[in-house]
Structure 1
Amino acid sequence: MIQTLLESGIFSEKRILKRNEYLNTAGSIDTQIYYIENGSMRIFIMDEDEERIIRIGYSGNIVVSLDSFLSEKPSEFYIQAIKTTEIRLASKKDFYQFIQSDDENMKFWTVILEDLVLQQIEREKDLLMNSPKERFERVLKRSPKLFQEIPNKYIANYLRMSPETLSRLKKS
Protein backbone atom coordinates (compact mmCIF):
# COMPACT_ATOMS: atom_id res chain seq x y z
CA MET A 1 0.00 0.00 0.00
CA ILE A 2 2.91 2.37 0.57
CA GLN A 3 3.70 1.92 -3.12
CA THR A 4 0.16 3.10 -3.91
CA LEU A 5 0.78 6.16 -1.75
CA LEU A 6 4.00 6.91 -3.62
CA GLU A 7 2.37 6.38 -7.00
CA SER A 8 -0.52 8.71 -6.07
CA GLY A 9 1.74 11.72 -6.45
CA ILE A 10 1.03 13.18 -3.02
CA PHE A 11 4.69 12.75 -2.04
CA SER A 12 5.79 15.08 -4.82
CA GLU A 13 8.27 17.24 -2.89
CA LYS A 14 11.72 15.82 -2.15
CA ARG A 15 14.18 17.01 0.43
CA ILE A 16 17.66 15.94 1.50
CA LEU A 17 18.65 16.29 5.14
CA LYS A 18 22.28 16.34 6.15
CA ARG A 19 23.54 14.14 8.97
CA ASN A 20 22.17 15.44 12.31
CA GLU A 21 19.91 18.00 10.59
CA TYR A 22 16.53 18.49 12.24
CA LEU A 23 13.38 18.01 10.21
CA ASN A 24 11.46 19.63 13.04
CA THR A 25 11.94 20.51 16.68
CA ALA A 26 9.81 20.58 19.82
CA GLY A 27 7.43 23.52 19.88
CA SER A 28 6.85 23.51 16.12
CA ILE A 29 3.66 22.60 14.31
CA ASP A 30 4.21 19.94 11.67
CA THR A 31 1.37 18.77 9.45
CA GLN A 32 3.53 16.93 6.94
CA ILE A 33 3.98 13.21 6.55
CA TYR A 34 7.35 11.89 5.36
CA TYR A 35 8.49 8.87 3.39
CA ILE A 36 12.17 7.94 3.82
CA GLU A 37 13.62 7.04 0.42
CA ASN A 38 17.05 6.40 1.87
CA GLY A 39 18.86 7.21 5.07
CA SER A 40 17.58 7.10 8.63
CA MET A 41 15.89 9.31 11.19
CA ARG A 42 15.05 9.30 14.86
CA ILE A 43 12.09 10.76 16.69
CA PHE A 44 12.83 11.73 20.26
CA ILE A 45 11.68 13.79 23.19
CA MET A 46 13.75 15.57 25.81
CA ASP A 47 13.45 14.31 29.39
CA GLU A 48 15.17 17.02 31.41
CA ASP A 49 18.60 17.03 29.71
CA GLU A 50 18.35 13.53 28.26
CA GLU A 51 17.12 12.47 24.84
CA ARG A 52 14.59 9.62 24.79
CA ILE A 53 14.21 8.03 21.37
CA ILE A 54 10.66 6.80 20.80
CA ARG A 55 10.86 5.78 17.16
CA ILE A 56 13.48 5.13 14.50
CA GLY A 57 12.83 5.18 10.77
CA TYR A 58 14.90 4.10 7.79
CA SER A 59 14.51 3.46 4.05
CA GLY A 60 10.96 2.50 3.16
CA ASN A 61 9.41 3.83 6.39
CA ILE A 62 6.92 6.61 6.91
CA VAL A 63 7.62 9.02 9.75
CA VAL A 64 5.39 11.72 11.13
CA SER A 65 5.17 13.93 14.17
CA LEU A 66 1.82 12.28 14.84
CA ASP A 67 0.75 14.48 17.76
CA SER A 68 1.12 17.65 15.70
CA PHE A 69 -0.09 16.06 12.45
CA LEU A 70 -3.39 15.05 14.07
CA SER A 71 -3.96 18.05 16.36
CA GLU A 72 -2.26 20.82 14.35
CA LYS A 73 -0.74 21.99 17.64
CA PRO A 74 2.94 22.26 18.57
CA SER A 75 4.71 18.94 18.96
CA GLU A 76 6.91 17.87 21.86
CA PHE A 77 9.00 15.73 19.50
CA TYR A 78 12.17 16.26 17.54
CA ILE A 79 12.77 14.52 14.22
CA GLN A 80 16.43 14.37 13.24
CA ALA A 81 18.40 12.73 10.43
CA ILE A 82 20.86 10.15 11.76
CA LYS A 83 22.77 10.22 8.47
CA THR A 84 22.21 11.96 5.15
CA THR A 85 18.58 11.18 4.41
CA GLU A 86 16.41 11.68 1.36
CA ILE A 87 12.72 12.09 2.12
CA ARG A 88 9.53 12.80 0.27
CA LEU A 89 6.90 15.05 1.84
CA ALA A 90 3.12 15.09 1.68
CA SER A 91 0.87 17.70 3.24
CA LYS A 92 -1.91 16.70 5.60
CA LYS A 93 -4.43 18.15 3.13
CA ASP A 94 -3.12 16.06 0.22
CA PHE A 95 -2.79 12.97 2.38
CA TYR A 96 -6.36 13.27 3.70
CA GLN A 97 -7.71 13.89 0.20
CA PHE A 98 -5.97 10.69 -0.88
CA ILE A 99 -7.25 8.52 1.99
CA GLN A 100 -10.78 9.92 1.69
CA SER A 101 -10.90 9.36 -2.07
CA ASP A 102 -11.36 5.59 -1.82
CA ASP A 103 -12.51 3.04 0.76
CA GLU A 104 -9.32 1.00 0.30
CA ASN A 105 -7.21 4.07 1.01
CA MET A 106 -9.21 4.74 4.19
CA LYS A 107 -8.71 1.11 5.26
CA PHE A 108 -4.97 1.57 4.70
CA TRP A 109 -4.91 4.62 7.02
CA THR A 110 -6.90 2.70 9.63
CA VAL A 111 -4.41 -0.18 9.45
CA ILE A 112 -1.50 2.26 9.89
CA LEU A 113 -3.10 3.85 12.96
CA GLU A 114 -4.04 0.50 14.47
CA ASP A 115 -0.50 -0.77 13.92
CA LEU A 116 0.96 2.34 15.60
CA VAL A 117 -1.30 1.88 18.62
CA LEU A 118 -0.40 -1.81 18.92
CA GLN A 119 3.32 -1.04 18.56
CA GLN A 120 3.05 1.60 21.26
CA ILE A 121 1.27 -0.78 23.64
CA GLU A 122 3.90 -3.46 22.97
CA ARG A 123 6.70 -0.96 23.56
CA GLU A 124 5.21 0.29 26.83
CA LYS A 125 4.80 -3.26 28.12
CA ASP A 126 8.34 -4.05 26.99
CA LEU A 127 9.87 -1.12 28.85
CA LEU A 128 7.85 -1.77 32.00
CA MET A 129 8.12 -5.53 32.25
CA ASN A 130 10.94 -7.00 30.18
CA SER A 131 14.65 -7.29 30.79
CA PRO A 132 17.14 -5.62 28.43
CA LYS A 133 17.80 -9.03 26.86
CA GLU A 134 14.11 -9.59 26.14
CA ARG A 135 13.75 -6.08 24.67
CA PHE A 136 16.79 -6.66 22.46
CA GLU A 137 15.52 -10.05 21.24
CA ARG A 138 12.05 -8.69 20.46
CA VAL A 139 13.40 -5.80 18.40
CA LEU A 140 15.95 -8.05 16.66
CA LYS A 141 13.16 -10.43 15.68
CA ARG A 142 10.74 -7.69 14.59
CA SER A 143 13.23 -5.38 12.86
CA PRO A 144 16.54 -7.07 11.98
CA LYS A 145 17.25 -4.35 9.39
CA LEU A 146 17.42 -1.83 12.25
CA PHE A 147 20.73 -3.33 13.38
CA GLN A 148 22.17 -2.91 9.89
CA GLU A 149 20.97 0.66 9.38
CA ILE A 150 21.22 2.38 12.76
CA PRO A 151 24.24 3.06 15.00
CA ASN A 152 24.25 1.16 18.30
CA LYS A 153 24.06 4.29 20.46
CA TYR A 154 20.63 5.12 19.03
CA ILE A 155 19.36 1.54 19.29
CA ALA A 156 20.55 1.38 22.90
CA ASN A 157 18.73 4.63 23.72
CA TYR A 158 15.57 3.34 22.02
CA LEU A 159 15.80 0.11 24.05
CA ARG A 160 16.56 2.05 27.27
CA MET A 161 19.92 0.45 27.92
CA SER A 162 23.56 1.48 27.79
CA PRO A 163 25.53 0.99 24.58
CA GLU A 164 27.75 -1.42 26.53
CA THR A 165 24.76 -3.59 27.49
CA LEU A 166 23.60 -3.63 23.88
CA SER A 167 27.08 -4.62 22.73
CA ARG A 168 27.17 -7.52 25.23
CA LEU A 169 23.73 -8.71 24.11
CA LYS A 170 24.73 -8.62 20.44
CA LYS A 171 27.80 -10.74 21.20
CA SER A 172 25.89 -13.39 23.18
Structure 2
Amino acid sequence: MTRVSIAALFCALFVGLLLPAQAQAATSARRSASVQVLALKKVEHHIMRVAASRKGTPYRYGGTGNGGFDCSGYTRWVFNRLGIHLPRTSASQVGSTTRTRHPRVGDLVFFSHGGHVYHVAIYAGHHSIWHAPYSGTRVRKERIWTGAVFYGHVKGMRKAVAKQARKITARRARAAAATA
Protein backbone atom coordinates (compact mmCIF):
# COMPACT_ATOMS: atom_id res chain seq x y z
CA MET A 1 0.00 0.00 0.00
CA THR A 2 1.29 3.46 -0.81
CA ARG A 3 1.68 6.20 1.75
CA VAL A 4 -1.15 8.16 0.12
CA SER A 5 -3.60 5.25 0.34
CA ILE A 6 -2.59 4.52 3.96
CA ALA A 7 -3.17 8.16 4.83
CA ALA A 8 -6.50 8.12 3.00
CA LEU A 9 -7.52 4.92 4.80
CA PHE A 10 -6.50 6.40 8.14
CA CYS A 11 -8.46 9.59 7.44
CA ALA A 12 -11.50 7.64 6.38
CA LEU A 13 -11.39 5.54 9.55
CA PHE A 14 -10.70 8.58 11.74
CA VAL A 15 -13.52 10.63 10.21
CA GLY A 16 -15.82 7.63 10.24
CA LEU A 17 -15.24 7.17 13.96
CA LEU A 18 -15.44 10.84 14.86
CA LEU A 19 -18.42 11.97 12.85
CA PRO A 20 -20.97 9.63 14.46
CA ALA A 21 -19.77 10.70 17.92
CA GLN A 22 -19.90 14.37 16.95
CA ALA A 23 -23.33 13.93 15.41
CA GLN A 24 -24.54 12.16 18.54
CA ALA A 25 -23.12 14.96 20.73
CA ALA A 26 -24.79 17.61 18.56
CA THR A 27 -28.11 15.76 18.67
CA SER A 28 -27.79 15.39 22.44
CA ALA A 29 -27.03 19.12 22.82
CA ARG A 30 -30.03 20.07 20.66
CA ARG A 31 -32.24 17.71 22.67
CA SER A 32 -30.97 19.18 25.94
CA ALA A 33 -31.55 22.75 24.69
CA SER A 34 -35.08 21.90 23.59
CA VAL A 35 -35.78 20.36 27.02
CA GLN A 36 -34.50 23.55 28.70
CA VAL A 37 -36.70 25.75 26.50
CA LEU A 38 -39.71 23.53 27.13
CA ALA A 39 -39.01 23.54 30.88
CA LEU A 40 -38.73 27.35 30.91
CA LYS A 41 -42.05 27.67 29.04
CA LYS A 42 -43.74 25.27 31.49
CA VAL A 43 -42.43 27.21 34.50
CA GLU A 44 -43.53 30.53 32.94
CA HIS A 45 -46.97 29.05 32.21
CA HIS A 46 -47.22 27.76 35.78
CA ILE A 47 -46.36 31.21 37.20
CA MET A 48 -49.04 32.83 35.03
CA ARG A 49 -51.60 30.18 36.02
CA VAL A 50 -50.86 30.67 39.73
CA ALA A 51 -50.89 34.48 39.34
CA ALA A 52 -54.25 34.36 37.52
CA SER A 53 -55.73 32.07 40.17
CA ARG A 54 -55.87 35.04 42.57
CA LYS A 55 -57.58 37.37 40.10
CA GLY A 56 -60.21 39.39 41.95
CA THR A 57 -58.64 38.98 45.40
CA PRO A 58 -58.97 42.33 47.20
CA TYR A 59 -55.98 44.57 47.87
CA ARG A 60 -55.19 44.68 51.58
CA TYR A 61 -52.25 46.64 52.94
CA GLY A 62 -49.78 44.15 54.46
CA GLY A 63 -51.85 41.28 53.04
CA THR A 64 -50.09 38.02 52.27
CA GLY A 65 -52.85 35.52 51.71
CA ASN A 66 -56.41 34.58 50.91
CA GLY A 67 -57.94 37.55 52.76
CA GLY A 68 -56.11 39.95 50.49
CA PHE A 69 -52.73 40.98 49.18
CA ASP A 70 -50.58 44.01 48.88
CA CYS A 71 -48.20 44.05 45.90
CA SER A 72 -45.24 42.31 47.50
CA GLY A 73 -47.45 39.89 49.44
CA TYR A 74 -48.96 38.84 46.13
CA THR A 75 -45.63 38.29 44.34
CA ARG A 76 -44.31 36.43 47.38
CA TRP A 77 -47.39 34.20 47.51
CA VAL A 78 -47.15 33.34 43.78
CA PHE A 79 -43.45 32.44 43.91
CA ASN A 80 -43.87 30.47 47.15
CA ARG A 81 -46.17 28.15 45.16
CA LEU A 82 -43.16 27.44 42.94
CA GLY A 83 -40.88 26.79 45.91
CA ILE A 84 -39.12 30.13 45.53
CA HIS A 85 -39.08 32.25 48.65
CA LEU A 86 -39.07 36.02 48.22
CA PRO A 87 -38.62 38.61 50.97
CA ARG A 88 -41.69 40.43 52.28
CA THR A 89 -41.33 43.96 50.84
CA SER A 90 -41.02 45.20 47.27
CA ALA A 91 -37.71 46.96 48.05
CA SER A 92 -36.33 43.73 49.56
CA GLN A 93 -37.49 41.67 46.59
CA VAL A 94 -35.14 43.67 44.36
CA GLY A 95 -32.28 41.80 46.08
CA SER A 96 -33.75 38.46 45.01
CA THR A 97 -33.45 39.31 41.34
CA THR A 98 -30.84 39.92 38.69
CA ARG A 99 -31.62 43.04 36.70
CA THR A 100 -32.35 42.66 33.01
CA ARG A 101 -33.34 44.89 30.13
CA HIS A 102 -35.09 42.01 28.38
CA PRO A 103 -37.85 40.71 30.64
CA ARG A 104 -39.31 37.23 30.33
CA VAL A 105 -42.72 36.09 31.48
CA GLY A 106 -42.52 35.55 35.24
CA ASP A 107 -39.85 38.19 35.92
CA LEU A 108 -40.55 40.83 38.54
CA VAL A 109 -41.31 44.39 37.50
CA PHE A 110 -40.27 47.11 39.94
CA PHE A 111 -41.85 50.55 39.85
CA SER A 112 -39.68 53.32 41.22
CA HIS A 113 -39.70 57.04 41.80
CA GLY A 114 -36.69 59.05 42.93
CA GLY A 115 -34.63 55.89 43.43
CA HIS A 116 -37.27 54.38 45.73
CA VAL A 117 -39.13 51.18 44.78
CA TYR A 118 -42.79 51.64 45.60
CA HIS A 119 -44.48 48.75 43.76
CA VAL A 120 -43.74 45.27 42.41
CA ALA A 121 -45.60 43.10 39.91
CA ILE A 122 -45.13 39.95 37.81
CA TYR A 123 -44.34 40.40 34.12
CA ALA A 124 -46.98 38.69 31.95
CA GLY A 125 -45.48 39.49 28.55
CA HIS A 126 -46.49 42.07 25.94
CA HIS A 127 -45.94 45.01 28.32
CA SER A 128 -48.49 43.69 30.84
CA ILE A 129 -48.34 42.62 34.49
CA TRP A 130 -50.24 40.75 37.18
CA HIS A 131 -50.38 42.72 40.43
CA ALA A 132 -52.27 43.87 43.49
CA PRO A 133 -52.54 47.59 42.61
CA TYR A 134 -53.71 49.68 45.60
CA SER A 135 -56.49 50.06 48.21
CA GLY A 136 -59.98 49.65 46.83
CA THR A 137 -58.83 47.47 43.88
CA ARG A 138 -58.39 43.75 43.29
CA VAL A 139 -55.62 41.58 41.85
CA ARG A 140 -55.67 41.99 38.09
CA LYS A 141 -53.72 41.90 34.87
CA GLU A 142 -53.10 45.20 33.12
CA ARG A 143 -50.66 47.08 30.92
CA ILE A 144 -47.63 48.79 32.42
CA TRP A 145 -48.60 52.46 32.71
CA THR A 146 -45.19 54.11 33.14
CA GLY A 147 -41.65 53.96 31.88
CA ALA A 148 -40.25 54.28 35.42
CA VAL A 149 -39.80 50.53 35.85
CA PHE A 150 -36.99 48.03 35.87
CA TYR A 151 -37.07 44.26 35.53
CA GLY A 152 -35.45 41.45 37.45
CA HIS A 153 -35.06 37.72 36.80
CA VAL A 154 -35.90 35.90 40.03
CA LYS A 155 -32.76 34.11 41.21
CA GLY A 156 -34.48 30.85 42.18
CA MET A 157 -35.98 30.39 38.71
CA ARG A 158 -32.92 28.50 37.43
CA LYS A 159 -33.52 25.74 40.00
CA ALA A 160 -37.22 25.59 39.15
CA VAL A 161 -36.44 25.27 35.43
CA ALA A 162 -33.78 22.61 36.09
CA LYS A 163 -36.27 20.63 38.20
CA GLN A 164 -38.85 20.86 35.41
CA ALA A 165 -36.22 19.79 32.84
CA ARG A 166 -35.44 16.69 34.91
CA LYS A 167 -39.14 15.83 34.99
CA ILE A 168 -39.41 16.21 31.20
CA THR A 169 -36.29 14.10 30.61
CA ALA A 170 -37.55 11.38 32.95
CA ARG A 171 -40.95 11.42 31.27
CA ARG A 172 -39.33 11.09 27.83
CA ALA A 173 -37.10 8.24 29.04
CA ARG A 174 -40.13 6.35 30.41
CA ALA A 175 -41.98 6.88 27.12
CA ALA A 176 -38.97 5.67 25.10
CA ALA A 177 -38.60 2.58 27.33
CA ALA A 178 -42.32 1.81 26.97
CA THR A 179 -42.11 1.88 23.16
CA ALA A 180 -38.87 -0.15 23.00
Give yes or no for TM over 0.5: no
Report the structure number with the largest CA radius of gyration: 2
Q: Which has the higher helix share?
A: 2
Q: Which has the higher strand share?
A: 1
Please, what TM-score do these two structures have when normalized by structure 2? Answer: 0.28
